[in-house]
Amino acid sequence: MIVVASDHGGLSLKSAICAVLKEREIVYRDLGTDNGDSVDYPDFAAKVAAQVSSGEAEQGVLICGTGIGISIAANKYPGVRAALVHDPFTAKMSKEHNNANILVMGGRVLSEVEARNLVTIWLDTAFEGGRHQKRLDKITAIEENLRSSR
């Protein structure tokens, strides 16, 4: 399952992304926001990142105005690899090399057409593993060391 959320700056892109997921018959859950009222992006990052971190959801999609703040917040969760993408190359590499489990986009940066294309590329790209897995293992070790040192 994929969980999707945005703040007010990403609401229209979120609707476009949910449409792609529905068209592809991918099970997803929309965690808000549901209107254009001003809300805080860390709250929506937390909703998605907590479910991806716990394994309740396999993947997530987050959108805020630029994508920057919401990706910073999501990456505070253990095991989350939230990648801010802005073109087809970064969308592909985020999955192929980094196995990003949360796709992040900027609602004030991308058009709906661009966002639909990027989410499609990300969904269709497989993780290569190999040398890239070794690098992800190092990131996991950093997370574990930080957790145990507190």
Catalytic center residues? 64, 97
CA separation, residue 58 to residues 3, 43, 54, 108, 147 (Å)? 8, 19, 9, 26, 22
Residue 27 and residue 68: Cα distance in Å, rounded? Answer: 26
Nearest of 143, 85, 74 to residue 116 by alpha carbon? 85
Closest CA to 92 of 118, 115, 59: 118
Q: What angle do CA 58, 112, 45 make, to 5 degrees?
A: 40
Alpha-carbon distance of 139 to 132, in angstroms, equals 11
